[in-house]
């Protein structure tokens, strides 16, 4: 310890280091001098930065925080593509799990997924993916909800009837280990296989997750036993399935005996003739359609527009912009058409038929 004297108050005090101010009157360091005992040399002042100074500590801490933050941001940006790729592969694997293709090597997940996937369909606010498994179509429906402690989600794979469950995969964020967390185990998930989502005579989702022995009058094909000791998580799964799977009705209103509306709004990518739009001729599962964008077959009896179609449209009453086929008996406009228009009564602007009908000649003369 060294002795120091304040020039302002005249008091002497001891300190291990040169003080920044007088501890008695608060005078600054410039008013303090070291007291040198007889026969002793004064302690030389420390050169360079005073590492005990508060300003030095504050500046050092700030620089350190900035450097560390920069390094963390740099590492995060470098690793982000790999993280995104891992998330993508993980999502694909969960969908393949629902299709009963589990435990695939990570190196083949993406190629397997892309080889099996055929199309995307929209139902409400969700996207349903279509896969080909051993020559049969399977529809993978995303589901999400809330369990006891956090979010739960998963995928339900349906057979071509859009009613029978082919497989499932569930995940959770923070359910209780050994209880609610069991929804992510295969033992629980396989209990859904073969169950029916809908029941005859009902428009809602009949599939239920119920407490064991409490199924009441629910048919065996429409319920799954909940997890013992995880009632709230089981209830969350039940509510999740009911709120999400009801949207499947938009793809096939007649699934499970449901009520079929008078007409559906869209039958995209149909590949065969659609006389009257029979349900069994539409891969998308719709019926009584009034719109067939992208269709290539004949659409006898249809009443809607057929933009981009290349087949015949006998008896149609709607517009056929861009069509190249015959339009016998049509009454709508045929802008840009190149085919024959026998018996047409509408406008035929831009027609190029080599053997135009009387109406076409009349329009051409105009």
DSSP string, 155-215: EEEE-TTSSBEEEEEEEESSPPTTTGGGGGSHHHHGGGTT-BSS-TT-SS---EEE-TT--
Residue 171: the pLDDT is: 96
Tens of pLDDT along the chain (366 residues) come to 788 899 999 888 888 888 889 988 989 988 988 887 766 665 566 666 677 778 888 999 999 999 999 999 999 999 999 999 999 999 999 999 999 999 899 999 999 999 999 999 998 899 999 999 999 999 999 999 999 999 999 999 999 999 999 999 999 999 999 999 999 999 999 999 999 999 987 778 999 999 988 888 899 999 999 999 999 999 999 999 999 999 998 887 766 655 544 333 344 444 444 444 444 444 444 444 444 444 444 454 445 555 545 555 555 555 565 555 556 555 555 655 555 555 555 556 555 544 556 655 665 555
Q: What is the pTM assigned to this prediction? A: 0.57
Alpha carbon 173 to its chain centroid, in Å, reads 16
Instruction: Classify strands 32-35 and 2-6 as parallel, antiparallel or unpaired.
Output: antiparallel
Tokens representing 273 are 């003739």
Determine the 3-state secondary structure of 87 from DSSP.
helix
Residue 275: the pLDDT is: 43
Domains defined for the chain, CATH in brackets: 2-35 (2.20.28.10), 106-256 (no CATH), 261-366 (no CATH)
């Amino acid at each position: 310890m060294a002795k120091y004297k304040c020039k302002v108050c005249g008091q002497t005090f001891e300190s291990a280091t040169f003080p920044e101010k007088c501890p008695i009157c608060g005078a600054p360091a410039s008013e303090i001098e070291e007291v040198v005992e007889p026969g002793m040399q004064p302690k030389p002042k420390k050169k360079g930065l005073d590492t005990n100074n508060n300003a030095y500590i504050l500046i050092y801490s700030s620089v350190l925080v900035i450097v560390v933050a920069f390094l963390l941001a740099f590492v995060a940006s470098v690793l982000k593509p790999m993280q995104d790729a891992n998330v993508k592969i993980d999502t694909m694997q969960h969908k393949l799990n629902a299709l009963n293709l589990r435990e695939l090597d990570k190196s083949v997940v993406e190629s397997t997924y892309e080889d099996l996937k055929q199309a995307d369909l929209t139902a409400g606010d969700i996207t349903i993916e279509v896969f080909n498994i051993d020559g049969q179509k399977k529809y993978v429906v995303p589901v999400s909800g809330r369990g006891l402690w956090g979010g739960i989600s998963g995928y339900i794979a349906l057979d071509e009837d859009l009613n029978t469950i082919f497989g499932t995969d569930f995940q959770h964020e923070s359910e209780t280990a050994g209880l609610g967390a069991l929804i992510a185990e295969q033992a629980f998930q396989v209990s859904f296989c073969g169950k029916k989502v809908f029941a005859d005579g009902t428009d809602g989702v009949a599939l239920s997750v119920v407490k064991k022995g409490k199924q009441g009058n629910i048919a065996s094909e429409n319920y799954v036993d909940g997890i013992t000791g995880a009632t709230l998580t089981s209830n969350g799964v039940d509510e999740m399935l009911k709120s999400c799977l009801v949207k499947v009705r938009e793809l096939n209103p007649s699934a499970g005996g449901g009520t079929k509306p008078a007409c559906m709004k869209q039958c995209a990518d149909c590949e065969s003739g659609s006389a009257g739009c029979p349900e069994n001729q539409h891969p998308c599962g719709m019926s009584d359609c009034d719109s067939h964008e992208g269709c290539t077959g004949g659409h006898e009896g249809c009443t809607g527009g057929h933009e981009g179609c290349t087949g015949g449209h006998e008896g149609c009453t709607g517009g056929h912009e861009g069509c190249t086929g015959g339009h016998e008996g049509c009454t709508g406009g045929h802008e840009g058409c190149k085919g024959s228009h026998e018996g047409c009564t509408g406008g035929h602007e831009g027609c190029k038929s080599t053997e135009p009908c009387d109406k076409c000649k009349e329009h051409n003369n105009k």
